[in-house]
């Protein structure tokens, strides 16, 4: 049996290399997106130190008393997610009918065993951010805003690499992402018993694809993220933490729509980490991760862009705005 190896791309070659190196790195990135919907980036410009700080803030936020997190609770609906979503709120299983089809019948709702904090761009007027007060968690808002800007910047460089890799005009993708409408998410997966997972109605996250253009992800040392083996649809391969300060990037639905299915969204889930040694007394330890959903500017269309529409490949998706699309998809999650 051959296990798929997800390629590593040294992104510093795109950021700082010669024209030839930039072109090669961009091609590797785009090939991995097309083939797997996923890639791992090394030397992406976010330091190991900074990633450690993400885990510290993750622990600080999720360690707050429930009544403090309740002050910024997210209310389910089609509005963009802001503030704290408690366990059992977002239900990724609803995004793919295969989840219900594959589950043991009559076992009830398929829930995610996770809580998260979400925020949008600074000073978002349409969907205001909800941060804990300075009294409840001093420094959190400042850290998150700095992190947002940093990772939005890396995302736009990845979009530039996609422009080069696909031979698209400069700014044809980057220009669709400004002003920023992206979302940053901090995640906590509480400890969970194997017994509970074995009911077949609970997963850390059910197989799903994300709604934005691309998703940038850091996971802690425990692991658990898995991507689809496209040779065997709806089966999954773990992305083992390599210890290399890697940034995992997956393609999402807006990219699939823009490229008229040339770049398909990467299907993924969060499962029991593959090393059984991580399991103590029948419990899987808690896990932290953080994701950044690069989103198109809200007024931009998520229909196919002109370079991906030809006589042989007519437009598959309708022209609706990124905001309409996002709200439609968010509503399905509850
Ligand atoms: O925690 C992870 O590794 C994945 C999270 C995820 O897929 C999501 O929030 O969309
Ligand atoms: Fe996801």
Place of tokens 């609770």: 73
89 phi/psi in degrees, rounded to 5 = -80, -65
Structure tokens of 312? 């042989």
User: Is the model more confident about 197 or about 190?
Assistant: 190
Minimum-distance ligand to the CA of 209? 2
Average pLDDT over residues 61-90: 97
Interface predicted TM-score (ipTM) of this complex, two decimals: 0.99
Ligand 1 proximity of 185 Cβ (cutoff 6 Å)? yes
Residue 106 has pLDDT above 60, yes or no: no
Residue 103 has pLDDT above 90, yes or no: no
61 phi/psi in degrees, rounded to 5 = -65, -50
Q: Which atom of ligand 1 is nearest to the CA of 225?
A: 3
Residue 84 has pLDDT above 60, yes or no: yes
Q: By C-alpha distance, which of 60, 87, 40 is closest to 217? A: 40
Ligand 1 proximity of 225 Cβ (cutoff 6 Å)? yes
**Beta bridge partner(s), residue 117:** 84, 186
Average pLDDT, the chain: 95
Q: Let me know if 243 is exposed, middle or buried by CB neighbors in 10 A (0-12, 13-18, 19+).
A: exposed
Structure tokens of 29? 């990135």
Structure letter (DSSP) for residue 33: H
**Span from the CA of 155 to the centroid of ligand 2 (angstroms):** 16
**Residue-wise pLDDT tens digits, 244-256:** 999 999 999 999 9
Residue 108 has pLDDT above 90, yes or no: no
Residue 83 has pLDDT above 80, yes or no: yes
Minimum-distance ligand to the CA of 241? 1
How does residue 185 score in pLDDT terms, banded at 50, 70 and 90? very high
Minimum-distance ligand to the CA of 117? 1
Q: Let me know if 126 is exposed, middle or buried by CB neighbors in 10 A (0-12, 13-18, 19+).
A: exposed
Ligand 1 proximity of 289 Cβ (cutoff 6 Å)? yes
Residue 105 has pLDDT above 70, yes or no: no
Place of tokens 């690069």: 294
Phi/psi class of residue 230: alpha, beta or left (left: φ > 0; alpha: ψ in -120 to 50)? alpha
* Distance separating alpha carbons of residues 115 and 132, to the nearest angstrom: 15
Using the Cα atoms of residue 46, residue 221, residue 37 and residue 21 in order, give the sign of their dihedral: positive
Percentage of the chain exceeding pLDDT 90: 89
Using the Cα atoms of residue 132, residue 133, residue 136 and residue 137 in order, give the sign of their dihedral: positive
**Residue-wise pLDDT tens digits, 136-159:** 999 999 999 999 999 999 999 999
**Closest CA to ligand 1's atom 1:** 289
Q: Which atom of ligand 1 is nearest to the CA of 248?
A: 3
Phi/psi class of residue 135: alpha, beta or left (left: φ > 0; alpha: ψ in -120 to 50)? alpha
**Span from the CA of 113 to the centroid of ligand 2 (angstroms):** 14
**Closest CA to ligand 1's atom 10:** 210
**Residue-wise pLDDT tens digits, 42-69:** 999 999 999 999 999 999 999 999 999 9
Angle between helices 48-62 and 140-166 (to 10 degrees): 130
What CA–CA distances, in Å, run from 314 to 172, 220, 254, 256, 298?
20, 42, 17, 14, 24
Ligand 1 proximity of 239 Cβ (cutoff 6 Å)? no
**Span from the CA of 237 to the centroid of ligand 1 (angstroms):** 15
């Amino acid at each position: 049996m051959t296990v798929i190896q997800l390629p590593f791309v040294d992104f510093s070659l795109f950021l700082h290399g010669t024209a030839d190196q930039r072109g090669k790195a961009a091609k590797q990135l785009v090939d991995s997106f097309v083939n797997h919907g996923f890639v791992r980036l090394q030397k992406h410009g976010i330091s190991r130190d900074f990633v450690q700080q993400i885990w510290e803030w993750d622990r600080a936020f999720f360690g707050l008393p429930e009544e403090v997190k309740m002050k910024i609770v997210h209310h389910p609906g089609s509005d963009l997610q802001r503030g704290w979503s408690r366990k059992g709120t977002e239900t990724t299983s609803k995004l793919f009918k295969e989840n219900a089809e594959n589950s043991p019948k009559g076992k009830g709702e398929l829930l995610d065993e996770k809580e998260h904090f979400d925020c949008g761009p600074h000073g978002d007027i349409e969907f205001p951010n909800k941060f804990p007060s300075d009294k409840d968690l001093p420094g959190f808002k400042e850290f998150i805003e700095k992190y947002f800007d940093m990772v939005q910047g890396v995302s736009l460089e990845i979009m530039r690499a996609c422009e080069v890799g696909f031979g698209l005009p400069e700014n044809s993708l980057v220009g669709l992402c400004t002003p920023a409408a992206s979302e940053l998410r901090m995640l906590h997966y509480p400890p969970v018993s194997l017994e509970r997972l074995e009911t077949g109605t609970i997963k850390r996250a059910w197989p799903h694809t994300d709604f934005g253009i691309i998703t940038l992800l850091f996971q802690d040392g425990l692991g658990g993220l898995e991507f689809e083996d496209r040779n065997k649809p709806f089966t999954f391969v773990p992305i083992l933490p390599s210890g290399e300060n890697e940034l995992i990037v997956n393609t999402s639905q807006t990219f699939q729509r823009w490229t008229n299915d040339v770049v398909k969204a990467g299907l993924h889930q969060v499962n029991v980490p593959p090393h059984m040694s991580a399991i103590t007394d029948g419990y899987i330890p808690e896990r932290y991760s953080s994701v950044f959903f690069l989103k198109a500017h809200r007024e931009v269309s998520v229909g196919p862009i002109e370079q991906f529409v030809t006589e042989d490949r007519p437009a598959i998706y309708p022209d609706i705005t990124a905001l309409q699309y996002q709200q439609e998809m968010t509503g399905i999650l509850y």
